[in-house]
C-alpha cells in the first residue's frame, strides 16, 4: 500500500471488501443424552488451554464423541472461562464457550444456570465426575460434561508445578496463528498494511455509531456519553455510561458553570461514592466537607443509582472516585462553549498533527487538588501527585472518542479538509496502553517477528482482525484472511 501521509488522504473503506462474512458455528442442537486438594481452578484452566491430555479423541460424560480443534480464547473478564472454542461433537464442528470447574457442582453453586452470559457454553470441563451434577443453561439446555481427571498426561499436582498462572495464557505454544508464517518469511509489510486498513475501518465504525447517537440526542450529549464511558475503562465503563445518561449534558453545563466542584459532587452522588460521613477516626478531609456542603445546598433531590463497585484488581490510581473527578474537571473546563465546539475548534487551525494532539491534551486537568494526591477518601496520601486521568487513558480517549467524533462531524458536513486533518492525527497517534486482546494478537499475527513500530492504528487493526477472524476461529481453520494476504490484497491502495 502506498504511503498515505500526504495531503488529500481520508479514511479508507477498502477493508469492507476484504472483511469476512463471519458465519460462526454456534452450538445449537447437541442432544441431551475453587479448590481440589489445594489446587487453584486456574491450574485446570491451564491444562485445558494447553490440551494436556493423553488422547486426541475423547467422549463426554453423556457419550458424545469429542475432538477438540481449539480450546478457544482465554477470557480474563466476567463470563465463561474460554470464548470461541471449536470442538467436533459426533463429527460435527461447533463453536462456543467453555467453562472449567474443579467440582462439577460449582456450575450451579456459581449460579451459571440462571446467568444468560453462560448460554453459549458448549462444554463443561471438570476434573472429576460428580453423580447428579448436571450443567444446564438458563434456557434449560443440558451442556455436555468432559471429565479430564483420568486423561491427564501426568499427575495433576505434577502439572500444577509447571503451570505458572501469571504467565498464562501468553506463555503457551498456541499463540502464533498461520499469519505468523508470513512474518517469518519477511512479509511483515503485507500484514501491517492489512492491519492499517482494519484500523481505519474500526474508527469508521466508531464514527458511524457516534453519528447515529448524535442524530438521536445531539452532538454534545453523544460525545459526552462516549467520553465518560471511556473514562470508566474496562471495569467500570458501563457504570460510567449509566451515570452519563442519568445526568444529561445540558444539566452538566449548568452545574459546571455554577461551581467548579458542583459537577464532581453530582457525579459522585449519582455513583453512590459520596458518603454521608467518613469512618470515625478519619482525619478531616476539607474536600469531602466542601462536596457534602454542595450536595446539601444544591443537589438535595439527586438520587444515587444502584451501582456496585467491584474493586478487585483495580490499581489505586484507577479508583472510580478519581476517574469521575477527572471527568468532571474536564467537562467543567469545556462547559462554557460546550463539549462539541471545544473539540471541533481544534480542527480549524492548520497545524502539525503533534501540535493538534497537544491542543487536545491541554483540555484535560492537570495534577492538582485533592484527587491528585489521593485515590480514595480515606487512603494514604500518594507519594507524588498524578493526574486523575493519566496519560495512557488520555491517549485512549483521543483515539477512541475525539478522533471518531471529529470524523463523524466531518462526514456529516462533508468537510473533506477536516477529515484529512483527522486522518493525519489518527495516523500519527502513539500506542495506547495494551489490553488483553492486543497482547494475544501481536504474537498471533507476527510470531516472534514483532512489528518495528506499534502505534494506535496497528492496535486498532489488531482488535478488528480479532473481532472479524480470530475470535470465532482461533485454530485458523479454513481462514480466508490468509488467502487475502497471500494474494497481496493487504496492499490495496486507498481509492
Give the mean pLDDT of 263-278: 97
Cα 447 from chain centre:
23
In terms of pLDDT, which residue wins out, 298 or 307?
298
Give residue 32's pLDDT band: very low, low, confident or very high (50, 70, 90).
very low
Nearest to 408 by CA among 220, 132, 178: 220
Which tens digit of pLDDT belongs to each residue from 93-150? 999 999 999 999 999 999 999 999 999 999 999 998 887 889 999 999 999 999 988 8
The pLDDT score that the predictor gives to residue 419 is 96
- Single out the residue of 83, 85, 86, 67 nearest to residue 75, CA to CA: 83
Rounded to an integer, the average pLDDT of 65-91 is 87
- Examine the pLDDT at 165 and tell me if it is beyond 80: no
Q: What pLDDT score does 420 carry?
A: 96
pLDDT at 248 (0 to 100):
97
Share of the chain above pLDDT 90, in %: 56
Higher pLDDT, 326 or 19: 326
Give me the pLDDT at residue 489, please: 59
- pLDDT the model gives residue 129: 87
pLDDT higher than threshold 80 for residue 175: no
Mean pLDDT, residues 165-187 taken together: 67
Q: What is the pTM of this model?
A: 0.77
Q: Provide mean pLDDT across the span 203-214.
A: 94
Q: Distance between CA atoms of 184 and 243, rounded to whole angstroms?
A: 48
**pLDDT band per the 50, 70, 90 thresholds, residue 493:** very low
Average pLDDT over the chain reads 86
CB-based burial of residue 391 (10 Å sphere; 0-12 exposed, 13-18 middle, 19+ buried)? middle
State yes or no: pLDDT of 292 exceeds 70: yes
At residue 401, the pLDDT reads 97
Which pLDDT does position 29 carry in this prediction?
A: 33
pLDDT at 481: 84
| Residue 16 cell numbers, joined | 469492507
* pLDDT of the residue at 312: 75
Pairing of strands 145-147, 92-101: unpaired
Q: Is 441 helix (H, G, I), strand (E, B) or coil?
A: helix
pLDDT digits (tens, 9 = 90+) for 346-395: 999 899 999 999 999 999 988 989 999 999 999 889 999 999 999 999 99
Amino acid at each position: 500500500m502506498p504511503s498515505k501521509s500526504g495531503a488529500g488522504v481520508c479514511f479508507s473503506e477498502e477493508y469492507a471488501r476484504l472483511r469476512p462474512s463471519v458465519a460462526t458455528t454456534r452450538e445449537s442442537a447437541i442432544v441431551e443424552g475453587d479448590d481440589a486438594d489445594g489446587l487453584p481452578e486456574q491450574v485446570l484452566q491451564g491444562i485445558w488451554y494447553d490440551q494436556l491430555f493423553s488422547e486426541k479423541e475423547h467422549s463426554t460424560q453423556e457419550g458424545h464423541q469429542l475432538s477438540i480443534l481449539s480450546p478457544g480464547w482465554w477470557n480474563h473478564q466476567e463470563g465463561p472461562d474460554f470464548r470461541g472454542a471449536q470442538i467436533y461433537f459426533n463429527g460435527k464442528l461447533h463453536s462456543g464457550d467453555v467453562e472449567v470447574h474443579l467440582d462439577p457442582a460449582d456450575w450451579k453453586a456459581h449460579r451459571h444456570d440462571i446467568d444468560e452470559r453462560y448460554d453459549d457454553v458448549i462444554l463443561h470441563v471438570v476434573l472429576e465426575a460428580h453423580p447428579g451434577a448436571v450443567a444446564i443453561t438458563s434456557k434449560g439446555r443440558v451442556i455436555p460434561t468432559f471429565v479430564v481427571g483420568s486423561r491427564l498426561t501426568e499427575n495433576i499436582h505434577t502439572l500444577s508445578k509447571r503451570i505458572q498462572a501469571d504467565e498464562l495464557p501468553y506463555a503457551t505454544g498456541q499463540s502464533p496463528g498461520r499469519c505468523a508464517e508470513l512474518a517469518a518469511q519477511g512479509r511483515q509489510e503485507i500484514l501491517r498494511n492489512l492491519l492499517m486498513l482494519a484500523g481505519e475501518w474500526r474508527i469508521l465504525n466508531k464514527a458511524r455509531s457516534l453519528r447515529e447517537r448524535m442524530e438521536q440526542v445531539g452532538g454534545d450529549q453523544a460525545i459526552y456519553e462516549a467520553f465518560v464511558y471511556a473514562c470508566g475503562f474496562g471495569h467500570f465503563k458501563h457504570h460510567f455510561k449509566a451515570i452519563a445518561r442519568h445526568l444529561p449534558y445540558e444539566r452538566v453545563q449548568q452545574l459546571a458553570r455554577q461551581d467548579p466542584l458542583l459537577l464532581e459532587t453530582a457525579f459522585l452522588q449519582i455513583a453512590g461514592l459520596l458518603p454521608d460521613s467518613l469512618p470515625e477516626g478519619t482525619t478531616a478531609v476539607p474536600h469531602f466537607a466542601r462536596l457534602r456542603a454542595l450536595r446539601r445546598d444544591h443537589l438535595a433531590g439527586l438520587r444515587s443509582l444502584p451501582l456496585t463497585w467491584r474493586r478487585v484488581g483495580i490499581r489505586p490510581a484507577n479508583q472510580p472516585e478519581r476517574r469521575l473527578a477527572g471527568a468532571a474537571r474536564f467537562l467543567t473546563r469545556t462547559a462554557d462553549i460546550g463539549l462539541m465546539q471545544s473539540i471541533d475548534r481544534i480542527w480549524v487551525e492548520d497545524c502539525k498533527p503533534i501540535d493538534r494532539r497537544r491542543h487536545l491534551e491541554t483540555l484535560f486537568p492537570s495534577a492538582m487538588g485533592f484527587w491528585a494526591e489521593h485515590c480514595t477518601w480515606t487512603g494514604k496520601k500518594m507519594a507524588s501527585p498524578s493526574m486523575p486521568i493519566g496519560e495512557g487513558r488520555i491517549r485512549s480517549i483521543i483515539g477512541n472518542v475525539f478522533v471518531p467524533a471529529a470524523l463523524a462531524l466531518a462526514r456529516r458536513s462533508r468537510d473533506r479538509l477536516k477529515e484529512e486533518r483527522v486522518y493525519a492525527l489518527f495516523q500519527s497517534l502513539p500506542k495506547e496502553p495494551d489490553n488483553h486482546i492486543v497482547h494475544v494478537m501481536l504474537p498471533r499475527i507476527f510470531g516472534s517477528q514483532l512489528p518495528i513500530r506499534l502505534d494506535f492504528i496497528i492496535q486498532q487493526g489488531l482488535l478488528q482482525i480479532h473481532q472479524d477472524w480470530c475470535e470465532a476461529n482461533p485454530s485458523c481453520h479454513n481462514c480466508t484472511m490468509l488467502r487475502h494476504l497471500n494474494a497481496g490484497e493487504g496492499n490495496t491502495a486507498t481509492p
